[in-house]
A and B are shown apart, each in its own frame.
Chain A
Amino acid sequence: MGTYLARRLLLMIPTLLGITLVTFVVIRLAPGDPVSAAMGGDLQPGAMSAEAIEHFRREMHLDDPVLVQYGRWVGRLVTLDLGTSWRTGRSVLEQIAERMPVTMGLGGAALFFVYLLGLPLGILSAVKQGSASDRISTVILFVLYSLPSFWVGTLAILYLGGGKYWDLIPVQGLRSPGHEEMGWIGQALDVVWHAATPVVLLGYASLASVSRYMRTGMLEVIRQDYIRTARAKGLGERVVVFKHALRNSLIPILSHLGLMVPFLIGGSVIVERLFGIPGMGQLMFQAILTRDYSLIMGITTVTAILTMLGILITDLLYAAVDPRISLVEKK
């Protein structure tokens, strides 16, 4: 187990280098550069004089060969220095640290609700395969899956966000204007209240995939001999399903969980923008638009590391759920 873990962790290093090298080269090969992107705001035409651009490129070392620039970047990474963002002059790590908890909190809550609803729905569909309830839930879930979140989000804001129609949901940010004056219980409730709609928007589309995974897994298991045996020895349906079938049918869900890790860390540009939430999605989106190279690289690195850790944990969990998988090397 220990050697397995060590090997996996060491393997992450070349993977990380690969990911960052590709990203580094691609963003520099992409047309446009930070100077051109900076022309988006008010700008004196003089700022874009050949001289100013020349100076800027020199300062950023943009004229060195890409591999030399990459080498310099890796050199700094080794000392855990992700650099400062060109656009805001702030440390990249600081910016990520500010945004990551928001995104992971919302993503985690979304994931929690998706599993809370999706797993029972999947089990129900499998146990009552072909019944009316199976079909109805399938149709509803697929309709949800097909609705784009920017559209649903806009409708929610226009119809439920006060103003002309119902005043049911807050539409901006994660806190009310008077948040600072509330007690801690009030503050917590306030955040939950504001986060509810974004969480629903983040999650509803995944309900379909989770329940489908669950349904397939369950159907596969439920047809196996040991289940028939369990039924034959007179166990109740409830015991058969929840005690004997469930654990084994959860394995496909684990691979689904592994797939959700990048989503958890990456955030959603659309939902974050609609509701004015300062998360990772918007940060990355802005960084790309403004060609903020060090910020793009920083986010890529952190996301890559966390994703690889997430996959590693998933793999370890496989061993925990499925006795057929063993991480201990056979002697």
Chain B
Amino acid sequence: MVLRSTAALLLCALILPGCLVRGGEPVEEEAAGPVARAAGGPALDAYWRDGILPPGLEEGTPSRGGTLTVRINSNPPSLTYLLDSDGWLYRVVMHNLHEALVRPDPRDHPEYRPIPALAERWEVSDDHLTFTFHLRRGVRWHDGRPFTSADVAFTFEKLLDEKVRSMHLRQSFQDLESVTTPDPHTVVLRWKRPYVWALEKIGSLPILPAHAFEGYEGSKFNSAPYHRAPIGTGPFKFVSWEDQRSIVFERNDDYWGRKAFVDRVVYTIIPEPNVAQQLLLRGEIDLDINLTSEQYAKLAAEPKIVERYHRVKYYEASYTWIGWNHRRPLFRDARVRRALAMLLDREKLARALFEGIAEPAHCVFYHLGPGCDPATRTPDFDPDEAARLLDEAGWRDTDGDGVLDKDGIPFRFTMTIPSGNPTNDAMVLVFQQQLYRLGIEMELQRIEWSVYTRRLRSGEFDACMLAWIMDAESDPYQLWHSSQIDGGSNYLAYANPELDRLAERIRSTFDREERQAIFRRFNQIVVDEAPLLLVYHLPRRTMVHRRLRGVYLSPIEFFQVADLWIDPAWEAR
């Protein structure tokens, strides 16, 4: 499971496959002619209106050549995932250059089960403790050196090395007992105890070339020149990286698998949305995955955009939430928490702040995956019912000062949010007003991100707001288990014995179906007990140039750049 600042979430944006899902139900769209017209704008077809890809983009004969331009909105600190916690960068950029032993199948939405990559096949022992990987033969690094099991052993050694800045990945491998390499094409991993997502975690670990780090032992590894000019085994090779400007890859013609179609990929680094918009209007960007909600809506009125781009929105595994600090007596009563949840008008806010594309959240796992039961719903906006619940819980205004109180304590608390995100500010202000009408005083405190996360960890807040970005199937242990209150990520200090039991059980449930049932049960308890207020799922907002073919959505795994080709006939049309 991964965490991202809500600020970053709104600034950045990511992806989805096959059919787009709305309100939990797949929406089948008929092919349609012009059906809508934005005020004074060009005719829009149903695909544009609903933000889905038209069918048939994967058909046709691929053609080689050309340069693909992808906009990214921030300059990464380095290009090695082992050192940088930005998993998003890895999915968008680096997985075209680096490869892991296995990879999530980008066409397997919404489950993304592992398929072979650098390992051709593997066996898992019956006790789930021993994984034997048979490496693909004849794979070469971009500098021509052969890829062997020594590289795999090296990568794991660095991952577990205390001196290497890989804390963010190390946690998932803490139960790894040993890595052995009986021969150059075999790697055996042994675990101390069974871990259900072991293979997924292995799939998230890009293998590094041991020979590129000679002379960079110990903590020198962290500043090796490799991290700015990496070599990998993937379908693209590194060409250049200029800070704040671009990262350039070219096709690896010696790739072991099917070779990529385009000659070059340029990831152009443009933090400023207005600049990106200008380049879109000029048609200079092939993929922009970081549109703002406003751009997503307003660009529909630009004929130059509509004729050149497909507009797409899709949901990765993420949700925004407002959390109650359970160390505070104020939030101990589930009725009070449910009442608070009924006071946030998510439908209205989605329309007012996100142009109607944010979806009210009902699940703490990937809402499009099998772990979420569409029948489990968080309560709708309902101030009357909220007032009734609060009254039932004993909160009444007995001293006539306009603020609810109970046992002489007024209902007052502070909501702490990261600064610099106007959309969140607006949302919290609306919430504040609604609470005020019922006699609850919520004070707002905006603080800088690095201070904010520190407060979360130390529990110095009453209420907070955050967005989680997760894997397709994510381990609830670190976020929900009561053992994770001190030192883990259970920032809200919420302890529920039933959730503890389920979180433990899920880690050793190897049957997929059975696991999904536990996920659903888990979410039902979260929705009933309302330890946090589920706010919304915000989709990634994307423009895909119409000249691109081989396009399919893979919301969690981004677009597969190696599968895309440029239609030479497009300009002529």
**Which positions in A face B, CB cutoff 8 Å?**
31-34, 36-53, 55-56, 59, 84, 87-91, 98, 154, 157-158, 161-164, 167, 171-173, 175, 177, 273-278, 282, 289-291
A59 to B450, CA, bound (A): 19
Known: A47-B168, A163-B304. 17 other contacts (CB 8 A): A39-B453, A41-B88, A42-B3, A45-B489, A46-B167, A46-B172, A46-B478, A48-B453, A52-B170, A59-B163, A157-B274, A158-B274, A163-B282, A164-B302, A175-B245, A274-B272, A278-B243
- Binding-face segment, B21-29, B44-52, B78-86, B288-296: B78-86
Cβ–Cβ contact A163 & B227, under 8 A? no
Distance of B131 from chain A, by nearest CB (Å): 20
* Inter-subunit contact A45/B3 (CB<8 Å): yes
Q: A45-B478, A52-B167 are in contact. Are A290 and B272 (CB under 8 A)?
A: no
A45 CA / B474 CA spacing, docked (Å)? 12
Knowing A45-B489, A46-B478, the reply to whether A37 touches B449 (Cβ < 8 A) is yes
- If A33-B450, A84-B223 touch, does A51 touch B487 (CB 8 Å cutoff)? yes
A46 and B489 contacting across the interface, CB-CB below 8 Å: yes
Complex contacts, B163 vs chain A, CB 8 Å: 59
Q: Which residues of A sit under 8 angstroms from B302, Cβ to Cβ?
A: 164
User: With A49-B487, A89-B222, A276-B272 in contact, is A41–B84 under 8 Å at CB?
Assistant: yes
Contact of A52 among B88, B171, B223 (CB under 8 A): B171
Interchain CB contact under 8 A, A278 and B245: yes
For residue A110, give the distance in angstroms from its CB to the closest CB of chain B.
19
Contact in complex: B275, A36 (CB < 8 Å)? no
A211 CB to nearest B CB, Å: 31
Asked if A42 meets B88 with Cβ closer than 8 Å, knowing A33-B454, A36-B454, A56-B167, the reply is yes
A276-B245 contact given A41-B84, A48-B489, CB 8 Å threshold: yes
CB pair A90 B223 closer than 8 Å: yes
Please state if A173 and B281 are interface contacts (CB–CB under 8 Å): no
A303 CB, min distance to chain B CBs, angstroms: 19
Q: Does B157 contact A (CB under 8 A)?
A: no
Q: How long is the Cα–Cα vector from A31 to B270 in the complex, in angstroms?
A: 30
Q: Which of A31, A39, A163 contacts B3 (CB 8 A)?
A: A39
What is the CA–CA distance of A321 and B412 in the complex, to the nearest angstrom? 67
| Interface contact B77-A47, CB-CB below 8 Å | no
Kindly state the separation between the CA atoms of A244 and B172 in the bound complex, as whole angstroms: 78
Distance in Å: Cβ of B372 to nearest Cβ of chain A: 20
Question: Across the interface, which residues of B come within 8 angstroms of A48, CB to CB?
Answer: 453, 457, 489
CB of B213, distance to nearest CB on chain A (Å): 13
B167 in contact with A42 (CB, 8 Å): no
CB–CB A278/B242 < 8 A: yes
Q: Which of B77, B87, B89, B478 has the most CB of A within 10 A?
A: B77
Nearest Cβ on chain A to B229's Cβ, whole angstroms: 12
What residues of chain B lie closer than 8 Å to A50, measured between beta carbons?
486-487
A164 to B451, CA, bound (A): 41
CB distance from B305 to the nearest CB of A (A): 9
Can you list 10 residue pairs at the A/B interface with Cβ under 8 Å? A36-B450, A36-B453, A42-B2, A47-B85, A48-B489, A59-B219, A161-B275, A164-B304, A172-B279, A278-B245
| B244 with A42: CB separation less than 8 A | no
Q: Mark B62-99, 1 if CB is under 8 A from A, else 0.
A: 00000000000000011000011111110000000000
Note all chain A residues with C-beta closer than 8 A to B167: 46-47, 52, 55-56
Q: Does B113 contact A (CB under 8 A)?
A: no
Residue of B nearest to A292 (CB): B77
Q: Which residues of B contact A (CB under 8 A)?
A: 1-5, 7-8, 77-78, 83-89, 162-163, 165, 167-172, 219, 222-224, 227-228, 242-245, 266, 268-272, 274-275, 277-282, 302, 304, 448-454, 457, 469, 478-479, 484, 486-489
Q: Give the distance in Å from the alpha carbon of A233 to the alpha carbon of B432 in the complex.
A: 78
Q: Which residues of A contact B469 (CB under 8 A)?
A: 42
- With A42-B469, A44-B2 known as contacts, the answer to whether A273 contacts B271 (CB < 8 A) is yes
* Assembled-state Cα–Cα distance A39/B491 (Å): 14
- Interchain residue pairs A-B with the least CB separation, the first 3: A46-B171, A163-B281, A45-B489
Contact of B5 among A40, A46, A175 (CB under 8 A): A40
Contact A164 B281 (CB under 8 A): yes
Residue of A nearest to B228 (CB): A90
Q: Which chain A residues border B487 with CB–CB below 8 Å?
A: 49-51
Distance in angstroms between the alpha carbons of A41 and B171 in the assembled complex: 17
CA distance A147 to B281 in the complex (A): 27
- Establish whether residues B449 and A289, one from each chain, have CB atoms under 8 Å apart when the complex forms: yes
Cα A52 to Cα B164 in complex, Å, equals 12
Check A40 against B489 for contact (C-beta < 8 Å).
no
Kindly provide the distance from the CB of A105 to the nearest chain B CB, expressed in whole angstroms: 15
Q: Is A172's CB under 8 angstroms from B270's CB?
A: yes
Q: Is A46 touching B168 in the complex (CB atoms < 8 A)?
A: yes
Q: Which of B86, B162, B275 contacts A276 (CB 8 A)?
A: B275
CA–CA, A98 and B279, complex, Å:
27
On whether A171 and B449 interact (CB within 8 A), knowing A44-B85, A49-B171, the answer reads no
**Cβ–Cβ contact A43 & B168, under 8 A:** yes
Q: Which residues of B contact A175 (CB under 8 A)?
A: 245
Residue contact A43 to B3, C-beta cutoff 8 Å: yes
Docked complex Cα distance between A39 and B86 (Å): 9
Contact (Cβ within 8 A) B78 A276: no
A47 CB, min distance to chain B CBs, angstroms: 4
Q: Is the CB of B278 within 8 A of A162?
A: yes
Chain A residues lying within 8 Å of B277, measured Cβ to Cβ, are 163
Q: Are B85 and A87 in contact (CB under 8 A)?
A: no
Q: Looking at the complex, which one of B85, B227, B448 makes contact with A32 (CB distance below 8 Å)?
A: B448
Q: Are A37 and B78 in contact (CB under 8 A)?
A: no
CB proximity of B157 to chain A, nearest CB, Å: 17
